[in-house]
A = this chain, B = another copy of it.
Amino acid sequence: MVAKAIFYHAGCPVCVAAEHTVANAIDRSKYQVEIVHLGTDKSRVAEAEAAGVKSVPALVMDGAAFHINFGAGIEVLK
């Protein structure tokens, strides 16, 4: 079964690097990866916060939030 992984970002350089490398390296036979730009899709900030996202870029997988380096705090995206 393919699980879902969500990569939240805000278009920042740190986010782009993480997307191109880490998110892109995820095995698509194990995870369906959705890329969400919280800067342009503010309606999903609450969902990201509920999943434990405190900054972007972050990857939510298997019910946990994994912050990858630090691009921006989620507070500035509201």
Kindly state the separation between the CA atoms of A22 and B7 in the bound complex, as whole angstroms. 12
With both chains docked as a complex, state the minimum distance between the C-beta of A28 and any C-beta of chain B, in angstroms: 7
Copies of this chain, whole number: 2
Contact, CB under 8 Å: B17 / A5:
no
**Residue A67 interfacial (CB < 8 Å):** yes
Residues of chain B within 8 A (CB-CB) of A69 are: 65-67
> Once bound together, how far apart are the Cα atoms of A24 and B17, in whole Å?
20
Contacts of A61 in B (CB 8 A): 21-22, 25
Who on chain B is nearest to A17 by CB? B64
Tell me the smallest distance from the CB of A41 to a CB of chain B, in Å.
Answer: 23
- Whether, in the assembled complex, A68 has its beta carbon less than 8 Å from a beta carbon of chain B, the answer is yes
